[in-house]
Amino acid sequence: MKKTPLLNSSISEVISKMGHNDTIAIGDCGLPIPDETRRIDLALIKGIPTFNDTLKAVLLEQEIEEIIIARETEKVSPEIFEIIKKEVGNVKITLISHEELKEELKNCKAVIRTGEQTPYANVILKSGVVF
């Protein structure tokens, strides 16, 4: 049995295969996921699971060195922006347009779809190293 708290085998598998600078995304239930990108669908009903709970769970397992967020998040959903900043701590934050973020999803190892319904509740996590 795993010792780390993350129980979702699909998320754990993707993270375990990631190298330095590889990316994984967490998104709200409306984020369009490219056909070529692996989808890990956690959405059950509206709001479950939340973006915040999912982000916290992923950060228990993954070392990150940078996050990418849409500029629109800070203006339209400042509470989500603050949650992200709080959870990632002193990690580099790169702001891009929402359209650019959607394009970047094609380069992600996977996109985790949550039940979140807050606009722009999306983040791309760039893998760091533990040494």
Domain ranges for the chain: 21-127
CA torsion, ordered 128, 18, 54, 98, to nearest 10 deg: 80
pLDDT in tens, 10-42: 999 999 999 999 999 999 999 999 999 999 999
Residue given tokens 């939340």 in the structure block: 50
Residue 120 annotated as binding site = yes
19 is catalytic: no
Annotated active-site residue in 9, 17, 20, 99: 20
| DSSP three-state, residue 65 | strand
Q: Do residues 64 and 126 make contact, with C-beta atoms less than 8 angstroms apart?
A: yes
Residue 121 annotated as binding site = yes
Residue 57 annotated as binding site = no
- Beta strands in 34-113, from DSSP E residues, in sequence order: 38-41, 64-70, 92-96, 110-113
CATH of 21-127, one of 3.40.140.10, 3.40.30.10, 3.40.1650.10, 3.90.1200.10: 3.40.1650.10
- This prediction has a pTM of 0.96
pLDDT in tens, 53-111: 999 999 999 999 999 999 999 999 999 999 999 999 999 999 999 999 999 999 999 99
Residue 110 annotated as binding site = no
